[in-house]
Amino acid sequence: MTALREAVKARNIKQSTLAAKLGISKAAVSMQLKKGIKTMRTANKYGVALKCNPFFC
C-alpha cells in the first residue's frame, strides 16, 4: 500500500472528492493511489488537498 493510499484512507476521502479538489480525473487519482507519486509538484498538490506533509502523502 502506498503512503498516498494510506493518507487517503486515514482521512476517509473518496477518490472522486479528491479528484475534484485537485481538478483532475478520478482515473488519474486511482493511478496515483496504485503506483505512488512520482514528482514533487504532484506531491505538493496532494499535500495541500489532504492537508499533510507532501513527503508523507
Query: What is this structure's pTM?
Result: 0.88
What does the pLDDT read at residue 57? 77
Return the domain boundaries, the chain.
3-52
Q: Does domain 3-52 have CATH number 2.60.40?
A: no
Tens of pLDDT, residue by residue over 25-45, are: 999 999 999 999 999 999 999
List CB contacts of 37: < 8 A, sequence separation 6 or more: 2, 4, 43, 46, 57
Distance CA 15, CA 33 (A): 9
